[in-house]
Chain A
Amino acid sequence: MIPIEHFVLLSAALLCIGLLIVIIKKNAIVVLMGIELILNASNINLVAFARYDPSIQGQLFTLFVIIVAAAEAAVALAIVVRVYSYFKSSDLDRIKELKG
């Protein structure tokens, strides 16, 4: 059995890397990749702790997370394509209609 701390540390590292990607990348698609990484980091935690649960709820929850992530990715990419056709750019810092 691989100790639980390793999974948790890996998930923490991936979470921080995902966050960093989300913050520093200008391209919307890469930002979406960062979000996927964050979701995967949480999935690792869920799956790892499901080992100690007879009803394996963690695994089932991970399943739903993956489903939602897929739906999210589809819709988000559609939005990105739509935004691109409107602004002629997929750089997030060019899209600032909400500027105060």
Chain B
Amino acid sequence: MELYLFYVFAALALVSALVIIFTKNVLYAAFALVLTLLCIAAVYVYAMAPFIAVIQIIVYIGGVLVLMIFGMMLTNRLSNKSLLTEHHYIPQGLVLTTALFVLIYKALSGVNFSGLSWMKEGFAPAEDNIQQIGVYLMSDYILPFEVAAVLLLSALIGALVLSQRKERYP
């Protein structure tokens, strides 16, 4: 049951990702991305990382995608027409990505994961490891955590400065 639900979500993620490729409408692409990210959040849950899944939904769907939709609006000429995008380099891109996928598939098929020692000794993590993450963030990962905070702040300021209308920097 669990496996089939995983397949459903994975398939949904892939299909909606393909929709991003096929559609020309940027807004449709954004909504398809929302679906993809949601499905990926579900996949995280199946990978026993519910906290990450929640963060995924909050940050991506609540933040990044809203940002993107604002960006779309800011880069549109506010007409009745919807924002469309053109395609190019289709043959080259298709050939290269397909080739990469085939190669990765071949590489993976040559690996026997269950035969690896660290996998056999692998532990089954708890269903709820939010506390463990909190402890780690406040202890071992306190420096990256603070740096990430500073990074976010500076990104905020940077985005503000960059998107100012006034031509400060010619």
Contact sample, A vs B, 25 pairs, CB 8 Å cutoff: A7-B43, A8-B108, A12-B101, A12-B104, A16-B97, A16-B101, A18-B17, A19-B97, A20-B93, A21-B21, A23-B92, A23-B97, A24-B21, A28-B75, A30-B26, A33-B33, A37-B20, A44-B47, A52-B119, A59-B49, A60-B141, A66-B60, A73-B63, A77-B68, A77-B163
A28 to B10, CA, bound (A): 26
Query: Contacts A20-B93, A26-B86, A51-B125 hold; do A37 and B17 have CB atoms under 8 A apart?
Result: yes
- Determine whether the beta carbon of B47 is less than 8 Å from that of A7: yes
B60: chain A residues at CB < 8 Å are 36, 40, 66, 69
Chain B residues, Cβ within 8 Å of A63: 52, 55, 133, 137
Decide if the interface of chain A is mainly helix, strand, loop or mixed: helix
* Distance to closest chain A CB from B165 (angstroms): 7
Docked-complex contact B47 and A48, CB < 8 angstroms: yes
Say whether, besides A5-B108, A64-B148, A84 and B123 are in contact (CB < 8 Å): no
A29 to B64 alpha-carbon distance, docked (Å): 11
Q: For B88, what are the chain A residues with a Cβ–Cβ distance below 8 Å?
A: 24, 26, 93
Q: Contacts A36-B64, A69-B64 given; indicate if A47 touches B20 (C-beta within 8 A).
A: no
